[in-house]
Amino acid sequence: MHFSRNRQSQRNGDEAILPLTNVVFLLLIFFMLAGRLAAPEALDIQPPSSVSESAAESAGLEVQVAADGELALDGEHLTLDALKTQVRQRLNARPDTPLRLKADGEGDASRVVAIMQELREAGAEKLRLITVAADS
């Protein structure tokens, strides 16, 4: 008798947090599906906003250009020459790799274009400029 009453109270305790568990599970699933895991970034970059419709794919290499012109490849600081060497090596290893260029909106556009030109010389063919969706 005493044992069964004890078990009854424990069952009640478990059932009391079931709604909480449901909500937490829902939140978990929401964050797992809706959020993308962000890679740690070497530079603080605010990409320019645009009305472009095509979503950015996360595959391939990411070249980052900060507002002051600093460069990074996949979260690693580099000089322009080292960047070219690295990009050329990786493109030689896997030729069809798409390249994303994530540049700061405040940065100098002509420098970004010059870097694009250098990347093309290094063999990059699929180049995409990353922007954020305009909040309008």
Partner 1 sequence: MTTSTASPPHSFSDRQRSSSRRRTLVSLTPLIDVVFILLLFFMLASSFTDLRAIALDAPVSGTGNASIEGALLVDVRLDGVRFAGRYIGLNDLVDTIRNRRADNPGLRVLVRPATRVSLQDTVRVLDALTVAGIDRIALMENPGKGRPR
Q: Does 106 bind partner 1 (CB under 8 A)?
A: yes
CB atoms within 10 A of CB 112: 18
| By CB under 8 A, residue 105 contacts partner 1 | yes
Q: What is the distance of C-alpha 94 from the center of its chain?
A: 21
Question: Which of 6, 76, 89, 120 is the binder for partner 1 (CB under 8 A)?
Answer: 120
CB-based contact 119:127 (threshold 8 Å): yes
Of residues 9-28, which lie at the interface with partner 1 (CB under 8 A)?
Answer: 10-11, 14, 17-18, 20-21, 24-25, 27-28
Question: Does residue number 36 form part of the binding site for partner 1 (CB under 8 A)?
Answer: yes
Assess 123 for contact with partner 1 (CB under 8 A): no
Structural contact between residues 56 and 50, judged by C-beta atoms closer than 8 angstroms: no
Structure-token match 């962000």, residue found: 38
Q: Is 118 in the site for partner 1 (CB under 8 A)?
A: yes
Q: Which tokens hold the place of 18? A: 């079931």
d(CA 87, CA 104): 20
The verdict on 2 binding partner 1 (CB under 8 A) reads: no
Q: Which is nearer to partner 1, 88 or 128 (CB)?
A: 128
Q: Counting contacts by CB under 8 A, is residue 54 touching partner 1?
A: yes
Residue 36, Cβ density class (10 Å: 0-12 exposed, 13-18 middle, ≥19 buried)? exposed
Under the binding rule (CB under 8 A), the answer on residue 85 touching partner 1 is no
Question: Hey, what are 87's tokens?
Answer: 């990009």
Q: Does 61 bind partner 1 (CB under 8 A)?
A: no
Interface with partner 1 (CB under 8 A): 7, 10-11, 14, 17-18, 20-21, 24-25, 27-28, 31-32, 34-38, 47-57, 69, 80, 100, 103-118, 120, 125-133
